[in-house]
Structure formats: structure tokens, C-alpha cells
């Protein structure tokens, strides 16, 4: 064991109270001159002082104090009081080459080792005692050291009716856009062409009814947005019964519904001038569906 370990053991025994009067006087003198030893004593006082907290204080009864006082009053003083003698120099001051120095140092180390063993045994016994008291008599311990009892959790199942909201989705047919129709009639007996316009899709459909085709001519469709502007071509009428064109895509719905439409007989492939070259029959769109 090193000298520091010897001093630490002496400090532990000093705090524990296992030193005799001479050793305790040496320890008191060492506290005054050795700051490291004084710090070691303070550490052991803090360590061992915590054990006092683990045991609840017991106040002695009044009859016990009465017996102690009565015993002290009838006991004479054993001797005169005197101050302690000047302590002998510590072991560190003994020269290593002096006669008997090795025996003295060995004896002191054995005393320190015995002190450590005593302290360790007491601490272990205290811990075992605390564990046993916690298990069998927890009521004698302070509240903070008593074992915590498990908390019983009571589960309560509450049944509540659940209202199921069903969402019914019904398909409501969207209103169909109004169909606009224009009838191109050369005489009062039968129409030659029927023009149907879908304003939403901006498409037109021409049905050939009674018009007579010529081998060297084509029918051409025209639109006149306003009376003060010339007509514009919407394409040729095909040789089939129905002709569908998307040439109204460039016009606004209000223009489509209010314009004047015409069909003229032009050379094969359409008018070369971009304007009608022959008289045209005209018609206005009317709403055929609500």
C-alpha cells in the first residue's frame, strides 16, 4: 500500500471512530498540517454520513434519560482533566534507515488495512440490513427509501354506438348544350341543306337533303359574323349525306350564334378568290333544343 492509501485508510478509521486515543490525537494533528489528509477526512465524513440518512432516528424515552442522569450524579470523577500530550511525529517523519523503521511502517500499514476491512464489512452489513428491512419491515424506513408498490391499472371498456354515415352519390346528368339549327331552303317545297351547330364543341354538321350536285361544281359553306364584314369560308360540303367541320373553333360562341350562314355553288375545290363567286342561299341559326 502507498502512503496516500495509508492516509486515506487512517481518515476512514478516524471518521468511523475505530482509532484509539493516541492514534486519534495523531490524526487531529495531521488534519491541521496536511490539507490532503483533511480533504480525505471530509470525503469519508460525507460517504459515511449518508448511511445515517438510511436509518430513521429513534428518540430515547424520558425514563432512560432519567436513569443516565442519576448514574452520572453518583459517579465520582476518575481523575484530573488534562490536555492531550503533543503527538509524536507521524510515520512519514521517521527515517527509512533508522532502526526499527520498517517494523513501524509495516505495523501502520497493517492497521490501515484492518481499518479498510472493518469499514467495508460495516458498509456491506448496512446494505444487507437495509435490503432486509425494505422487504420485511418497510414501515420503519423513511418514506423515500420504502419500496414503491406497483400501481394497479383498471381498464374500463365503454361501448358506445357508432353512427355510420353513408354517403350516397347520385349521378345527375349535366344539361346538354342547346343545339342550333339553320335550314337552307331554295324554294318552299323542301330544304336543300340543314346546318346543325354545337356551340360548346364549336363544330358544325351539314346534312344534304334535296340539293342537286353538278360534276364540275362544289358546294361551299360561308359565315358572315356581322353585316359590315365580308363572308368567310368554313370549308366545302362533302359528297356524302353528312359533312362535319371544326372550322368554327376560331369564333366566339356569341359570334357563332348570331352570325349569318350561306352555301354557294363554286368551282371544284372552292372559290379561287376567297369570296362567294355565285349567289348563295342564306340562313340564321335557331335554337332547336332547350
Residues of the chain falling short of pLDDT 70: 1-2, 52-58, 60, 74-129, 131-137, 140-156, 158-169, 171-178, 187-189, 289-290
Q: Position of cell 481518515?
A: 11
pLDDT value at position 62?
A: 78
Torsion angle (degrees, nearest 10) of CA 104, 110, 113, 115: -80
In this structure, are residues 204 and 188 in contact, taking their beta carbons and an 8 Å threshold? no
DSSP helix/strand/coil, 122:
helix
Q: Where are the domains of the chain?
A: 3-57+86-145, 179-287
| Residue 194, strand partner residues | 183, 207
pLDDT value at position 193?
A: 86
DSSP helix/strand/coil, 234:
strand
Report the half-sphere exposure of 77 (CA within 13 A, side-chain side). Answer: 4
Which CATH number describes the domain made up of 179-287? 2.60.40
Residues 6+ apart with CB under 8 A from 23: 10, 13, 111
pLDDT value at position 58?
A: 66
pLDDT value at position 204?
A: 86
pLDDT value at position 32?
A: 95
Per-residue pLDDT tens for 42-68? 999 998 877 766 666 667 677 877 888
The torsion region of residue 12 among left (phi > 0), alpha (psi -120 to 50) and beta comes to alpha
pLDDT value at position 92?
A: 47
Name the residue among 230, 231, 190 with its Cα closest to residue 207: 190
Amino acid at each position: 500500500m502507498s502512503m496516500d492509501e495509508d492516509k486515506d485508510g487512517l481518515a476512514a478509521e478516524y471518521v468511523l471512530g475505530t482509532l484509539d486515543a493516541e492514534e486519534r490525537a495523531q490524526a487531529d494533528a495531521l488534519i491541521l498540517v496536511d490539507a490532503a489528509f483533511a480533504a480525505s477526512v471530509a470525503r469519508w465524513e460525507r460517504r459515511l454520513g449518508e448511511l445515517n440518512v438510511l436509518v430513521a432516528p429513534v428518540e430515547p424515552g424520558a425514563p432512560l434519560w432519567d436513569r443516565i442522569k442519576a448514574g452520572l450524579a453518583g459517579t465520582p470523577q476518575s481523575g484530573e482533566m488534562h490536555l492531550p500530550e503533543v503527538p509524536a511525529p507521524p510515520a512519514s517523519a521517521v527515517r527509512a534507515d533508522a532502526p526499527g523503521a520498517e517494523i513501524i511502517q509495516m505495523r501502520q500499514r497493517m492497521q490501515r488495512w484492518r481499518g479498510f476491512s472493518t469499514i467495508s464489512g460495516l458498509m456491506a452489513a448496512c446494505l444487507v440490513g437495509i435490503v432486509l428491512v425494505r422487504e420485511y419491515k418497510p414501515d420503519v424506513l423513511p418514506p423515500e427509501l420504502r419500496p414503491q408498490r406497483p400501481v394497479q391499472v383498471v381498464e374500463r371498456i365503454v361501448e358506445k354506438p357508432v353512427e355510420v354515415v353513408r354517403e350516397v352519390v347520385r349521378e345527375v346528368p349535366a344539361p346538354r348544350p342547346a343545339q342550333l339549327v339553320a335550314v337552307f331552303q331554295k324554294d318552299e317545297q323542301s330544304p336543300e341543306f340543314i346546318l346543325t351547330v354545337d356551340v360548346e364543341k364549336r363544330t358544325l354538321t351539314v346534312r344534304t337533303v334535296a340539293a342537286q350536285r353538278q360534276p364540275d361544281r362544289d358546294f361551299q359553306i360561308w359565315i358572315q359574323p356581322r353585316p359590315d364584314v365580308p363572308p368567310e369560308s368554313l370549308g366545302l360540303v362533302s359528297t356524302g349525306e353528312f359533312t362535319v367541320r371544326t372550322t368554327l373553333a376560331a369564333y366566339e360562341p356569341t359570334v357563332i350564334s348570331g352570325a349569318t350562314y350561306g352555301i354557294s355553288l363554286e368551282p371544284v375545290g372552292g372559290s379561287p378568290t376567297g369570296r362567294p363567286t355565285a349567289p348563295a342561299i342564306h340562313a340564321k341559326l335557331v335554337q332547336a333544343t332547350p
